A = this chain, B = another copy of it.
Amino acid sequence: MSKSNNVYKDAYNRGLRLLEETKSLPSEPELGALLGVSRTTIRTILARMEETGLIAWNKRSKTVLRVPRQDDFFPEEETDTLSQIIERSFMRRLLAGGAEPGMQINELELAREIGVGTTSVREFLIRFSRFGLIEKRRNSHWVLKGFTRAFALELTEIREMFELRSAAAFAALPEDSPVWADLDLLEDEHRLLAREIATRFNEFSELDERFHRLIHRASHNRFIVDFYDVIAMIFHYHYQWNKAQERERNEVAVAEHLAYIAALKSRDLGKVDAACRKHLKSARHTLLTSIPEGQQP
């Protein structure tokens, strides 16, 4: 196998959802823009849709014949990127315990275990190295630095530095900047979530990321914006392994976000600083308490 066709499969699945809404599909370039793939892939999708009797396709006319059934969709797991598969697998090992700091990482073994080529694993490790959890020894193996307390402290130190600066930049943005509308929308979503926190608390992490990314973007600094990838990645997995008091934690965080948003809207730099600091402090606390004890150096 040289390259999986997950791009096609994922786009196909998303394309199926379009069939539920319309009686005929738009032009190929339009579909390409809609699904974010090339026309080549669109044509492969259309070909299969025709084959399975979902549409009648003749040049410009693409008539929907029937609504897609559950078994028309490709299985979820076949739509993942190789790097997503590798990352998940790698993080599972990392968090499963037994992954002590200092331990060496074997490309070949990882590749065999996950069932992929070594090149993909290498490329993943290179990409992953910027998160600061692993390190390469010159023409030799990788070393696991581990998700330790030191890591969490170093991460949050930078995060706090960057976010305080971004928040200040945000508050200083002119009245007519479109970000204020974005902020209003996010505020509404927060209020809604706060009201239904009892049942929807697990939707917070996604909202959290969108909120903080909006703030960081105000810095207009690529290094600050990019650094949020590290935070997002850590929090993504952190949310998965630390379910203790998830509802309570998220409830507190939503309230802090609302206070933070109010401070931003007030444009009062003192208030912004205080609200930001308060939220970051509790975020740091949450992260620190969740570090597995076995991984202390």
CB-defined contacts of A220 to chain B, threshold 8 Å: 154
CB-defined contacts of A126 to chain B, threshold 8 Å: 123, 126-127
**Of A7, A122, A127, A223, most B-chain CB atoms within 10 Å:** A223
1/0 per position for A143-173, CB-CB distance to B under 8 A?
A: 0010000010011011001000100000000
Per assembly, the copies of the chain total 2
- Closest Cβ of chain B to A17, distance in Å, is 20
Closest partner residue, chain B, to A151 (CB atom): B222
Q: A138–B36 contact, CB under 8 A? A: yes
Q: B122–A7 contact, CB under 8 A? A: no
* A158 in complex: contacting residue of B36, B145, B151, B223, CB < 8 Å: B223
Q: B119–A158 contact, CB under 8 A? A: no
**Residue A226 CB within 8 A of the other chain:** yes
Q: B154–A222 contact, CB under 8 A? A: yes
CB-defined contacts of A224 to chain B, threshold 8 Å: 158
**Of A132, A222, A230, most B-chain CB atoms within 10 Å:** A222
Give Cα A36 to B137, complex, Å. Answer: 11
Given known A-B contacts A123-B122, A127-B126, A161-B161, A132 and B7 have beta carbons under 8 A apart: no
CB-defined contacts of A127 to chain B, threshold 8 Å: 126
Instruction: Identify whether the interface residues of A are mostly helix, strand, loop, or mixed.
Output: helix
Q: A154–B223 contact, CB under 8 A? A: yes
**Residue A227 CB within 8 A of the other chain:** yes
Closest partner residue, chain B, to A223 (CB atom): B158
Give Cα A222 to B226, complex, Å. Answer: 16
CB-defined contacts of A222 to chain B, threshold 8 Å: 132, 145, 151, 154
* A119 in complex: contacting residue of B119, B139, B154, CB < 8 Å: B119
- Closest Cβ of chain B to A41, distance in Å, is 10
Give Cα A230 to B151, complex, Å. Answer: 21
- Closest Cβ of chain B to A80, distance in Å, is 13
Closest partner residue, chain B, to A126 (CB atom): B126
CB-defined contacts of A226 to chain B, threshold 8 Å: 130, 132
1/0 per position for A215-230, CB-CB distance to B under 8 A?
A: 0000011111011001
Restricting to A42-67, which residues have a CB under 8 Å from any CB of B?
none
Restricting to A204-253, which residues have a CB under 8 Å from any CB of B?
220-224, 226-227, 230
Restricting to A97-138, which residues have a CB under 8 Å from any CB of B?
119, 122-123, 126-127, 130, 132, 138
Q: A221–B122 contact, CB under 8 A? A: no
Apart from A154-B223, A158-B221, what are 15 other A-B pairs with CB-CB below 8 Å?
A36-B138, A122-B123, A123-B123, A123-B126, A126-B127, A130-B130, A132-B222, A132-B226, A145-B222, A151-B222, A155-B223, A158-B224, A161-B161, A161-B165, A223-B230
